[in-house]
Amino acid sequence: MKNKFDVMHKKQKINLAIMTINVVCIFDLQTDFKMLKYYRGECMDYAKPVKSCFGKYLFCQFVGNEPEQERIHFAVSKDGYNFKPLNNNEPIIIQTKGKKCVRDPYILKGQDGCYYIIGTDMKCTEGWTSNHALVTWKSADLVNWTDETIIDMREIGGDFADTTRAWAPQAIWDENKGAYMVYWANSTVQNDVAAMYYAYTDDFKSITKPQLLYERKGIQTIDGDIIFNKNNGYYYLYFKHDEDQTIAYVKSKSLTGPYEDKPVVVSLSKEGVEGSSMYQVTGTDSWIMIMDEYGTGRFFMQMTTDMENFKAVSRDDYSFDGVRPRHGSVVAITDEEYERLVAAFGVAE
């Protein structure tokens, strides 16, 4: 028979356990205040958001895998961290040519002052090896988009005549060439493992014969994003590291390579990620990388000043409320361009 002292001793243990749980919860709130948050068993040192010196930001993306979601959507931000959809998150551009569906849009400002969008001409309900073309648009004011053009890899001929994937194109100005280098992930019937290729354009309506940019034998390489680090003279090619669903980089002193063989993983999300995109906090040395946590329906954000060492941004410090983005890209815009977009399409408040 248990005596009353045994019963009291057990009650004390229970009370002590409850007090311990409460203390842990309080500690977690305190560490969050110090930007050290308990996250899946690890204390993560968060990046402190850096204030933009001028301008605003435009996020260009698609929102899902259904044909009606494979459209161009816009969202805007005043600080580069918190984005709100334009046009009530209804499409800004509905593709009319090719597959009539677009994924992975990349937006950039051209040397002529116009903006260009280049994306994957693909309807994923037809299958993941069903596309063979890129699609482009042009705009002088970010509101009116014209010159929709399909760039079909099959028309290039040769090894590209039986292209099965032409994914996630992007473009970067090559000062030495005086033209834009377009790069994307490509696969064919003969070589079903996607690798990165590049070509040149001066009008986003046609390209030169593609050349191999970066390949890992037997391992798919997709979702490339090239950033130039003016401080060390290296080009950083970020891409989806398919082995563990992370983002990694290789670097080169030349835009067209060769790039280092061994990738360096930099993504800090604990989820599988893809579709990374980087943009500079205007007027600063800080860069933001966003990526699609495709299994959770969320986006992850992290920051760097040297392109190699990153810190996560606390989810309390960024938001994509009402946006529901998938793979896309962000470009800095002026205050005037921001006001023009808001006047044309409206923004959620």
User: Taking all residues of the chain, what is their mean pLDDT, rounded to a whole number?
Assistant: 90
Distances 321 to 68, 85, 260, 324, 347 between C-alpha atoms, Å? 20, 8, 38, 8, 12
191 and 285 in a single domain? The answer is: yes
Give tens-digit pLDDT for 288-318: 999 999 999 899 999 999 999 999 999 999 9
93-97, 104-108, 190-194, 302-306: lowest mean pLDDT where? 190-194
Q: Read off the CATH number of the domain in which 118 is found.
A: 2.115.10.20
Check whether residue 116 and residue 13 sit in a common domain. no
- Rounded (10°) CA dihedral 28, 31, 36, 42: -30
Tell whether 251 and 306 lie within a shared domain: yes
Q: Using an 8 Å Cβ cutoff, are 95 and 102 in contact?
A: yes
241 and 97 within one domain: yes
CA distances 155 to 133, 152, 160, 262, Å, are: 10, 6, 8, 34
117 shares its domain with 176: yes
Q: Which helix (H) or strand (E) holds 8?
A: helix 4-33
42 belongs to a structural domain: no
As a whole number of angstroms, the distance between CA 102 and CA 108 comes to: 17
Establish if 267 belongs to a structural domain: yes
- Residues 176, 317, single domain; the answer is yes
Those residues whose C-beta lies under 8 Å from the C-beta of residue 157, and which sit 6 or more positions away, are none
What is the amino acid identity at position 304?
A: T
Integer Cα distance of 221 and 240 in angstroms: 6
- Same domain as 200, residue 55: yes
Considering the domain architecture, whether residues 335 and 299 belong to the same structural domain is answered as yes
Q: What is the mean pLDDT of residues 188-195?
A: 95
Whole-model pTM: value is 0.88
User: What integer pLDDT is reported at residue 54 of this predicted model?
Assistant: 96
Q: Are strands 115-121 and 133-139 parallel, antiparallel or unpaired?
A: antiparallel
Same domain (yes/no): 97, 240: yes
Give the chain's domain count. 2
For residues 98 and 120, what is the distance between their CA atoms, to the nearest angstrom? 10
Pairwise CA distance, residues 223 & 239, whole Å:
5
Considering the domain architecture, whether residues 102 and 13 belong to the same structural domain is answered as no
Q: How far apart are CA 3 and CA 211, in angstroms?
A: 84
pLDDT for 38 beyond 70:
no
pLDDT > 70? residue 113: yes
What range does the domain containing 92 cover?
Answer: 47-345
- Give the pLDDT band of residue 174 (cuts 50, 70, 90): very high
d(CA 132, CA 188): 9
Q: Output the pLDDT for position 209.
A: 96
Note whether residue 227 is domain-resident.
yes
